[in-house]
Amino acid sequence: MPVTYMTEEGYNKILAEINYLESVKRIEISAQIADARDKGDLSENAEYDAAREAQGLLEAKIIHLKTAISNARLIDGSQLKTDVVQIMNKVQLKNTKTKAIMSYMIVSDTEANLKQNKIAVSTPIARGLMGKKIGDIVDIKVPSGILSLEILDISLG
């Protein structure tokens, strides 16, 4: 798995989720399996099968999260600059066709959340903006065609 850049906040959030999954959800699912097992014949017990499947999904999620943090590199906020677009910058953009103004923060893949206007560094828009300056107009290929964006401002997130 490649190196994942993340903030200390994002790193701590993943650690808290792992702790919750291991200390709460794992116990709940084990109890469901034991409860279903007590109901008799396991070969025709849909409740038992569902609990075992939930256990497998939970363990896979725990492994995925542990892998993500084992490959994490924390971003040092003191090293961030705003002369060019980089990860952890908030970028104000104007769509040159519609004149709509939007603002996004470029974050690691694990911290992306479109509802909070946080886009992953691996997205086409973020990749197209990286290294660009205020005033630059960037044409970015997106599924719906070419998006032309003007960089209005770059600030620290």
Per-residue pLDDT of the chain (157 residues; tens, 9 = 90+): 567 778 888 889 999 999 999 999 999 999 988 888 887 776 677 888 888 899 999 999 999 999 888 988 888 777 778 899 998 899 999 999 999 999 999 988 888 899 999 999 889 999 999 999 999 999 999 888 899 999 999 998 7
Residues 45 and 104 in one domain: no
Q: Measuring CA to CA, how many Å separate 27 from each of 31, 34, 51, 65, 66?
A: 6, 11, 12, 18, 19
- Nearest in space to 157 (alpha carbons), one of 18, 45, 7: 7
Same domain, 101 and 117: yes
Domain of residue 114 covers 78-156
Instruction: Specify whether 30 is located in the same domain as 89.
Output: no
Boundary-marking domain end, from 45, 74, 103:
74
Look at strands 145-156 and 89-95 and give their pairing. Answer: antiparallel
Q: Are residues 28 and 94 in the same domain?
A: no
- Let me know whether 67 and 90 are in one domain: no
State the virtual CA torsion across 149, 154, 156, 157 in degrees, nearest 10. Answer: -20
Residues 6 or more apart whose CB falls under 8 angstroms from that of 42 comprise 48
Task: Report the distance separating Cα 98 and Cα 90, nearest Å.
Answer: 21
On whether both 9 and 66 belong to a single domain, the answer is: yes
Could you give the number of structural domains in the chain?
Answer: 2
Residues 42 and 68 placed together within one structural domain of the fold:
yes
**Which CATH number do you get for residue 12?**
1.10.287.180
